[in-house]
Amino acid sequence: MGSIHITACPVCSGGNIHPVVELQDFSVSKQAFAIWECEQCSFRFTQDIPDQAAITPYYKSENYVSHSDTNKGLINRLYHLVRRFTLRGKRTLVERESEKKSGRLLDVGAGTGAFLMEMKAAGWDITGLEPDADARKLAQTKTGLLLQEPDTLFRLPAENFDVITLWHVLEHVHALHEYLDQFHSLLRKDGVLLIAVPNYTSGDAHHYQQYWAAYDVPRHLYHFSPRAMRTLMGKHHFSVLRILPMWFDSFYVSMLSETYRKGKSNLTAAFWQGLKSNLAAMGDREKASSLIYVIKKTS
């Protein structure tokens, strides 16, 4: 299988890059991967990642809930319980930031389609892209939703969408710059791009270090800080207007991280660490475990 060795920062092209931590793929392969960081823009990335043709087997786990929609295990049951609440929150966010109660929405990395069904029920004209064939099939079986393959992104008409969303997806995209250029083309002049990604500058990331579940190597190719995200968006004629915390993520990530570190779950320790991370982020929301970036075109 092919791998990609990165010799310059994928965001700013800086050459001052170095390894910062080595960690394991806990959920599928058990292989070790190194995280590297750019001194210039603070962007982090997984080194020697599987290329596009080789990455698929790393997603083949029943526990990968966004593709399997599994309810097995306490952590996944809690995930589904919280998701019912967060779906309404995402719809409210879309409506607030777009200043629309309906419109055309593109969701990239739609999983099994839960968010798109929420938006469809609210009256939005929806389009969803999902790379995993099993997830697309499950979405169609459960909801009748016909998700399309990712390459469809480059065949969609320009200036066709009011909102484009990526919920924990951008960190998975090999063609990072090509996708962002296409988002710029697809968004209407006053359109909104909403990107949610983990934040490696968070309190829970600092606490768990190589066991922090949101590194999720090698599926997560990139690891963003707010500074790196602003740099990346600027290069594609976007501006970050607001950064919003995802408060529930610290608890979910801490539950997984405790399991990776100890070999078994510890809900008490995970809840306490998630709470500490959130309390610290209340003084600086850019330190939350995961962040939503509200982005608009600058030209």
pLDDT of residue 80: 56
Separation of alpha carbons 128 and 105, rounded Å: 8
Q: Are strands 238-245 and 290-297 parallel, antiparallel or unpaired?
A: antiparallel
pLDDT at 79: 59
Which amino acid belongs to residue 268?
T
pLDDT by position in tens, the chain (length 299): 689 999 999 999 999 999 999 999 999 999 999 999 999 999 999 999 999 999 999 988 765 545 445 555 555 566 556 677 799 999 999 999 999 999 999 999 999 999 999 999 999 999 999 999 999 999 999 999 999 999 999 999 999 999 999 999 999 999 999 999 999 999 999 999 999 999 999 999 999 999 999 999 999 999 999 999 999 999 999 999 999 999 999 999 999 999 999 999 999 999 999 999 999 999 999 999 999 999 999 99
According to CATH, the topology of domain 3-297 is Rossmann fold (3.40.50)
